[in-house]
A and B are shown apart, each in its own frame.
Chain A
């Protein structure tokens, strides 16, 4: 089985722009979660989608949004980028009891 894939792997944007990140889960997995990771902050949960519905949400501003498609692929969007949004964004898909991560998208906001 192919693992979780994320595109793009690296992205550079400027303040005020918006960005869309993509994630394809492991085949058969219906739950997709997104995390933000910054140095020293650990893994901060953004949101989780299951069968195209947002099932859980972390404590992030409304500039962070996401969606899931009928094939379980997911996208997350960040609008009006701020310098503090520079981070590694990780997507993970959930099997029965285990969560598997993608390689991440490194977003740099200048």
Chain B
């Protein structure tokens, strides 16, 4: 099925560095969601964005819903070891009550000691 273009695919950073990742799509969405997945577990919802231009923070995480409704980014400031994992974006489009969620391909974050 369709997947969103998420970049970068992987990141290797040192503890304390800031992280930035983004998702782009050829389709518009009316909600953007960002998830983090730890190995062997289900994705956990980090941030939800509901309107174009919206900027939302959750602790050290900040995400924005692009003005065109076709993109979103996630920033993590001052990374810590527990930030390691795979981050997924997801775009939601509702159509006459039928929601369709499309996922990005994921960004794997690794922290180098």
Range of interface residues on chain B?
Answer: 20 to 34
Interface secondary structure of A, over-half rule? strand
With A31-B99, A59-B1, A97-B92 as contacts: A103 and B106 at CB distance below 8 Å: no
Please tell me if the beta carbons of B1 and A45 are within 8 angstroms of each other in the complex.
Answer: yes
Give A104 to B41 CA distance when docked, in angstroms.
6
Q: A12-67: which have CB < 8 Å to B?
A: 31, 33, 42-45, 55-56, 58-59
Please tell me if the beta carbons of A103 and B33 are within 8 angstroms of each other in the complex.
Answer: no
Q: Does B74 contact A (CB under 8 A)?
A: no
Give A31 to B97 CA distance when docked, in angstroms.
11
With A43-B88, A43-B103, A88-B40 as contacts: A58 and B1 at CB distance below 8 Å: yes
The residue that A90 contacts in the complex, of B42, B98, B106, with Cβ under 8 A, is B42
Identify the A interface with B (CB < 8 A). 4, 6, 31, 33, 42-45, 55-56, 58-59, 88, 90, 92, 94, 97-104, 106
Question: Can you report 11 residue pairs joining A to B where beta carbons are below 8 Å apart?
Answer: A45-B1, A45-B103, A59-B1, A88-B40, A92-B42, A94-B101, A98-B31, A99-B45, A100-B45, A101-B43, A103-B41
